[in-house]
Amino acid sequence: MKRRKFILGTVSASTSVALMTQFALQAEAKPTNVRDEWTKLLLKISTPVLDSAANGQLKQDLPSYKPNRKIFGPLEAFSRTLCGLAPYLVLENNNILLDKYKSATKNLFTPSSTDYVQLEAVGEERQPLVDMAFLAYTYINYPTLYHILSTDTKKTIVESFNKVRTIEPYPSNWLLFSAMVELFLHISSNDGDLSKIENALRQFEKWYAGDGWYGDGEDFHFDYYNSLVIHPFLHTIYEKCDELKMEPKMGNLRLGEKKERILKIAQRHAKQLEMLIMADGSFPAVGRSMAYRTGIFHHLAYMATKNLLPDMLTHGQVRSAMNAAIQKIWSKKDNFDTKNWLTLGLYGQQPGLSDSYIDVGSLYLATTIFMPLGLPPQHPFWTEPDQDWTQKKIWSGADVKGDYYFSQ
């Protein structure tokens, strides 16, 4: 009897091993579609914002934990969500999503609407300039989303930009917010104040600290604002100003020549961002605005989407690194509340990481990591095999070339 039990047990174990092997082979034969996963997550994050705004209820529905910031929340949530959603919207051309976007835009920027956004500064709070700049950045890079709006909505959009242009920027990355607003007004109505663009470009030329990093003003800040704002905005402004032949109108900026330098500096910073993603997908939680979560990699996503990655970074390597960061952050269930609005924090609910200027609407800059969804499924970003990224290579014992100071 004991021998029989032993034989049965052996057969059972062998069968289990065979089944496990079969399941493993099936899993290998049907790899997870990373692009589909990213799409589902982007839509999960953006749907509460887009649906509420399309229904004229964003003011009512958007949670807020800071009474003094609540008034700015709807514009923050919409403009920042659109930064990450725009590439996908334009590529997919999904009529349902585009109709929601058009309804949302009309509701938020029509003065008679109950969802009309706050466009003036409130005391010393100058937030509307920031988020209209993010909207300008989206429209400059994805002009289709502006052109498909009705004539009346486009008119109110331009009026909204004219309102925020009177807000004085701080001498920091905020200069780029003013510059982006003026660039959009120059493109849309030939009414931009080019001196504000010129001033921003000249100041950041002075504030370049070296090795791919800019100071955020005269002082250097060790945080992620080079990725969150500075590099994507600077590159967009230089690229568009050069494309529009604006040099004669802006003094001797040598736009074409400097654009190449700006690109090389931007590529260096993209490489550094890739190197900051650890083997498990985590990354150093340093500096302010960590609650923007995966928005930390805005610049890396921007460069990938623009096909501007440096030669030493392959598409498969960058996608794998970004996917590791996405999986690390968004696997934490309490990043969302019960209605799928984002919660304050980096890795779950961590309100201590939400700076004084951050409320729920602010958090939607996290969508910018999904910008590569604007690349079609056939693009090498999606088709190249998974590859280990820098930190995964190093900490698995692989031999990797050293990283050295970039002089430009």
Residue 158, pLDDT > 60, answer yes
Q: Which pLDDT tens digit goes with each residue over 93-106?
A: 999 999 999 999 99
Average pLDDT over residues 194-217: 95
Give pLDDT, residue 248.
60
Phi, psi of 44 (to 5 degrees): -65, -40
Q: Which pLDDT tens digit goes with each residue over 211-255?
A: 999 999 998 999 999 999 999 999 999 999 999 988 767 767 788
297 CB-near residues (< 8 Å, 6+ apart): 227, 273, 277, 322, 325, 368, 369
pLDDT band at 5 (very low <50, low <70, confident <90, very high): very low
CA distances from 335 to 45, 183, 392 (A): 10, 35, 25
Phi, psi of 253 (to 5 degrees): -90, -15
- How many CA atoms does the CB half-sphere of 86 hold within 13 Å? 26
Give pLDDT, residue 32.
59
Percent of the chain whose predicted confidence (pLDDT) is above 90: 87
Q: Which pLDDT tens digit goes with each residue over 9-29?
A: 433 444 444 434 443 433 343
| Distance between CA atoms of residues 147 and 158, nearest Å | 12
Residue 60, pLDDT > 50, answer yes
Give pLDDT, residue 337.
97
**Domains contained in the chain, CATH given:** 61-394 (1.50.10)
H helices present in 95-173, as ranges: 95-109, 127-141, 144-147, 151-164
| Distance between CA atoms of residues 106 and 156, nearest Å | 8
Q: Which pLDDT tens digit goes with each residue over 167-187?
A: 999 999 999 999 999 999 999
Give pLDDT, residue 29.
35
Residue 301, pLDDT > 70, answer yes
Give pLDDT, residue 352.
95
The torsion region of residue 170 among left (phi > 0), alpha (psi -120 to 50) and beta comes to: beta
Question: CB count, 10 Å around CB of 337?
Answer: 13
pLDDT band at 329 (very low <50, low <70, confident <90, very high): very high
Question: Model pTM?
Answer: 0.91
Per-chain mean pLDDT for the chain: 92
Question: How do 208-210 and 213-214 pair as beta strands?
Answer: antiparallel
